[in-house]
Structure 1
Amino acid sequence: MSNQQRKLTISGPKALQEEAFTTPEAAPGRVVVDITYTGICGTDVHGWADGSMLPPAVFGHEWTGTVSAVGDGVTDVAPGDRVVGGVGPACGTCPQCRGGHAKQCDTVFAEANGVDSAAPTYGAFATQVHVSSRRVIPVPDALSDIEAALVEPAAVTFHAVRRAGIVPGEIGVVVGAGPIGLLTAQNARNAGLGRVIISEPVEARRRVATGLGFTDVVHPDDVTDLITEATGGVGADVVFECAGVASLLQPSATMVRRGGTLSLLGFPLTESTVSYADWQQRELTVIGSLAYNHDDFVGVMRVIADKRIDVTPLHTGTMGLDHLADILSELDSGSSDHAKVLIDPTLT
């Protein structure tokens, strides 16, 4: 790749700024990665529309590429290695780790949110990134580049399903069949759900879910009747809220049986109104889930390599950097049929 690089960053509400830069020399403990693909996440869309809500490293956080240079002290990857952007292992020195809570490592949480001290100054809507070696995770040979590009959202859902503590044979509901919902449904099926019900208003997304082998895929208008039929009126054992729509939080909770679990993956940007008394009376377990740990990346890549989940049907388009603003606008409109669009910086 040429030493002349380019990157796109957010410069204001629905505004992008393009900058040219020269390939940096890999600093100690850091690596230079030539970007192959960067996925567009709902967070990217919201951040672009808002203009100021995202740390710079988060705009373009779903990426895969090839290491082109490593700095002093880097021993876990080498030039030529394919990698995905992720988070490092628990640091062992932060307050959470010292308190025995390595799964909630402060360093990893900061990395996942792009606010750690080593966070890059821009995301991977670029031809190249220069990042801490903690942020790169080698990709197994069994994964294609397209599969590697979808590892990050798959890790988000792998993490949430692990936190939900599914008991084999339980009945679950997934609210929303966008990329996060479809990946959640597949990981939950692997975790042992006996029946997976998917609620989704968009017909095109329902077709993708059916193509992934799910048979209980319905419009939201029909989901209550299906849950009643499947559970004898008791309610679902676990409901995964993946839509991120504030107004759906309480309706999602009402699908859960007394003593069941509500898992929150969607991230609404406005406050939600819920019935505290309803949740308390029905003794719901509510589990928040945000981002992932290092072991979620390792685990989900094994699952993808073993063909236990299929991420490729989520990929609905590939575009170059020059088309990023257009596709962000389309996705923000709410009328796009796209699931996951990948940006290939080599395309014009």
Structure 2
Amino acid sequence: MMEVPKTMRAAVYRGVNDVRVETIPVPEIGPGEVLVKIHTCGICGTDLKKIHTGSHSAPRVFGHEMAGTIAAVGGGVTDFAIGDRVMAYHHIPCGECYYCRKQTFAQCETYKKVGCTAAFMPSGGGFAEYIRVMDWIVRKGLVKIPDGVPFEQAAFIEPVNTCYKAVEMLALEPDETVLVIGQGPIGILLAALAKRTGATVLTSDLYGERHAVAAKFGLDRPLDARGDVVAAAKAATDGRGTDVALVAVGGNALITLAMNAIRPGGRVMLFAATQHGEAPFDPAAVCMDEKTLMGSYSSSVAINDEVAQLVLNGYGMGFDLTQLISHRFSIEDAVAAIDLASNPQPDSMKIVIQPEL
């Protein structure tokens, strides 16, 4: 038996830009559910958006890039046991509704219900010592981590899924050239996955430090974002422009840059445009130049198994994602972790919270 305390520490969202480290009860689990002791939880841009915009009611505990150890199992759970090392998805779709039949899983109503929580309204809960994983997630969204694969690697399964989904939607071909705008951890993942298809990948960022991390993943065509990225994209493609531009940072000005950087008939994939509003683009570029503007959001259950194999087998096989982690913070320092993630520095990449620190 693993000894489970009655209370735990957690980073609790109390309002816009207000996160406090508090003592709260360890969540109770019901039949078909499991309790997971968190080892590593990455901080995602969507967590930050919720904290800074007040899009969600308070109080909540955010965090969803999670890996840890099962500390308790509810009645009827047979596929998992106390002591199993796991990562947990926080969203799993119903598999039966219209959106699921069309493979647009992120729009399924069940998918939009969060199935992991530390307390309060379910919101992931990874910025805490323990999370409750609900029954439908246990059935379809809990992944065992093999011995020899660190929790830090497994915590990337969910973000890799979101990137893999976007790259798969692009159906890249080996003779194509891709421009990835932004080389934070997500931009590097998108670029690395695009390169695996055989396509040529150009990466754009303001910081040489980020290009240095990208180079560890074989990304060897860096562009300085302070220069003329459109001209560089054209120079690399006989003057045409790239086949694809992947926009891995927020900021609507970059949509114009991406549309200008692609060739006629090319496609722009928006990956970080999660803020509502209006953005300028040239409608004639879509109509006459036949350019496609598309988006991808969240994960796809259809690729869960492929992604788990890629990430878990990739450790020690040239896909060591722990190289993307620049900073590790304890739960007590979670506010500083969120602050750094919200104000990226040249040397900051993926920032993780580890309650054991």
In the superposition, the TM-score normalised over structure 1's length comes to 0.89
CA contact (8 A) 2:91 2:112 kept: no
Please list every run of 5 or more consecutive structure 1 residues that lacks an aligned counterpart in the other structure.
none
What amino acid is the match of 1:212? Answer: F
After the TM superposition, which residues 281-296 of structure 1 pair with which residues of structure 2 at under 5 Å, given as runs?
Answer: 281-296=288-303
Q: Distance in 2 between matches of 1:139 and 1:341?
A: 21
The answer to whether the aligner puts 1:40 opposite 2:47 as a matched pair is: no
Kept after mapping to 2: 8 A contact 1:240/1:265: yes
| Mapped partners of 1:54, 1:173: distance in 2 | 37
Q: Which residue of 2 aligns with 1:322?
A: 332
* Partner residue, 1:73: 76
- In 1, Cα distance between equivalents of 2:63 and 2:146: 22
Q: Secondary structure at the match of 1:205?
A: helix
Deviation at 1:150, TM superposition (A): 1.9
Query: What code does the residue aligned with 1:280 have?
Result: C
By how many angstroms is 1:101 displaced?
1.9
**Matched residues, percent identical?**
30
RMSD of Structure 2 on Structure 1 (CA): 2.6
Aligned partner of 1:81: which letter?
Answer: D
**Offset of 1:144 from its aligned partner?**
1.6
Contact 1:44–1:58 (CA under 8 A) maintained in structure 2: no
Which residue number in structure 1 is paired with residue 126 of structure 2? 124
1:203 aligns with 2:213: no
- 1:59 is matched with 62
Question: Which residue matches 1:217?
Answer: 222
Kept in 1, the 8 Å contact 2:91–2:111? The answer is no
TM-aligned CA distance change 1:10 to 1:215, over 3 Å: same
Q: 1:127: Cα distance to partner?
A: 0.2
| 2:332 is aligned with 1:332 | no
For residues 243 and 114 of structure 1, what CA distance do their matches in structure 2 show?
Answer: 27
Q: Provide, for residues 252-291 of structure 1, a one-character-per-residue CA deviation record: whole Å limited to 9, x for no partner.
A: 1111111112111112425322222222221122221001
1:185 to 187, 191, 205: 191
Selected match of 2:158 from 140, 152, 177? 152
Name the stretch that deviates more: 175-184 or 266-275: 266-275
**Corresponding residue SS for 2:81:** coil
Q: Residue 291 of structure 1: SS of its match in structure 2?
A: coil
Q: Distance in 2 between matches of 1:327 and 1:38?
A: 11
Partners in 2 of 1:114 and 1:15 — Cα distance?
Answer: 22
Distance in 2 (alpha carbons) for counterparts of 1:158 and 1:299: 9
3-state secondary structure, aligned to 2:236: helix
**Alpha-carbon distance change, 10 to 89 in structure 1, aligned in 2, over 3 angstroms:** closer
Moved more, 17-26 or 4-13: 17-26
Unpaired stretches in structure 2, ≥5 consecutive residues: none
Q: Is the 8 Å Cα contact of residues 89 and 142 (structure 2) preserved in structure 1?
A: yes
SS in 2 for 1:234: coil
Q: Pairwise mapping of residues 1-348 of structure 1 onto structure 2 (< 5 A)?
A: 2-3=4-5, 4-53=7-56, 59-86=62-89, 90-97=93-100, 100-104=101-105, 106-107=108-109, 109-111=111-113, 120=122, 123-133=125-135, 134=137, 135-193=141-199, 195-220=200-225, 221-269=227-275, 270-304=277-311, 305-306=313-314, 307=317, 309-335=319-345, 337-347=347-357
1:188 deviates by: 0.7
1:275-310 CA-partner distances (Å, limit 9, x unpaired): 222222211222210011224332222122133533
Cα displacement (A) at 1:179: 0.7
Q: Contact conserved, 1:68 with 1:79, CA < 8 A, in 2?
A: yes
